[in-house]
Chains A and B, each alone.
Chain A
Amino acid sequence: MRHAGHFVRLLALVAITVVGFLFVRSLVVPKDYGIKGHYRLSAIDDEAKREPRHIGSAACAECHDEIAAMWKAGKHHTPQCENCHGPGLMHTKVVAEDSTKGYADKILKNKNAIKRPTGIQECKWCHLKTFERPSTLKSIASVERHITDHKGTYTPNSKCVDCHNPHTTVVTPGKSGLASLTTAAK
Chain B
Amino acid sequence: MTSPLNSDDVTRRDFLETVAKTGGQSFLFGSLFVNTSLLRLPQDAAQANAKAKAETEAGKGIIYGFVVDTTKCIGCGSCVRACRVENAVPDGYNRTWVEQYTFYPDGEVVVNSPVGGENGFAEPGPTRNMPAGLEAVQPVRGFFVPKLCNHCIDTPCIQVCPVGASFKTDEGVVLVDHESCVGCAYCVQACPFGSRYLNPDTMTADKCTWCHHRITKGMLPACVVSCPAEARIFGNVSDPTSTISQILSTNRVQVLKSYLGTRPRTRYIGLDSEVI
State the A residues within 8 Å of B (CB): 1-3, 30, 33-40, 43-44, 46-54, 56, 78-80, 82-83, 86-87, 98-100, 102-103, 121, 124-126, 128-134, 137, 141-142
A58 CB to closest chain B CB, in angstroms? 11
In this assembly, does B75 line the interface, its C-beta being within 8 Å of a C-beta of chain A?
yes
A83 CB to closest chain B CB, in angstroms? 5
Can you name the residue of chain A whose Cβ is closest to the Cβ of B118? Answer: A125
Q: Measured between alpha carbons, how far is A178 from B230 in the docked complex, in Å?
A: 27
Given A56-B225, A87-B85, check contact A131 B102 (CB 8 Å).
yes
| Interface flags, B31-75, vs A, CB<8A=1, else 0 | 000001000110011001000100000000000000000000011
Given A40-B180, A131-B125, check contact A48 B74 (CB 8 Å).
no
B:112-136 near A, CB below 8 Å: 119-123, 125
In this assembly, does B177 line the interface, its C-beta being within 8 Å of a C-beta of chain A?
yes
Instruction: Name 7 extra pairs, CB < 8 A, besides A33-B164, A53-B86, A131-B139.
Output: A43-B179, A46-B179, A50-B213, A86-B85, A103-B88, A125-B76, A130-B122
Q: Are B44 and A35 in contact (CB under 8 A)?
A: yes
A57 CB to closest chain B CB, in angstroms? 8
Q: Measured between alpha carbons, how far is A78 from B125 in the docked complex, in Å?
A: 25
Q: Measured between alpha carbons, how far is A1 from B175 in the docked complex, in Å?
A: 58
List 11 A-B pairs, Cβ < 8 Å: A3-B5, A35-B44, A37-B167, A43-B177, A43-B179, A43-B180, A47-B209, A83-B228, A100-B201, A130-B100, A132-B142
Q: Are B48 and A52 in contact (CB under 8 A)?
A: no
Q: Are A39 and B86 in contact (CB under 8 A)?
A: no
Chain A hits for B122, CB < 8 A: 124, 128, 130
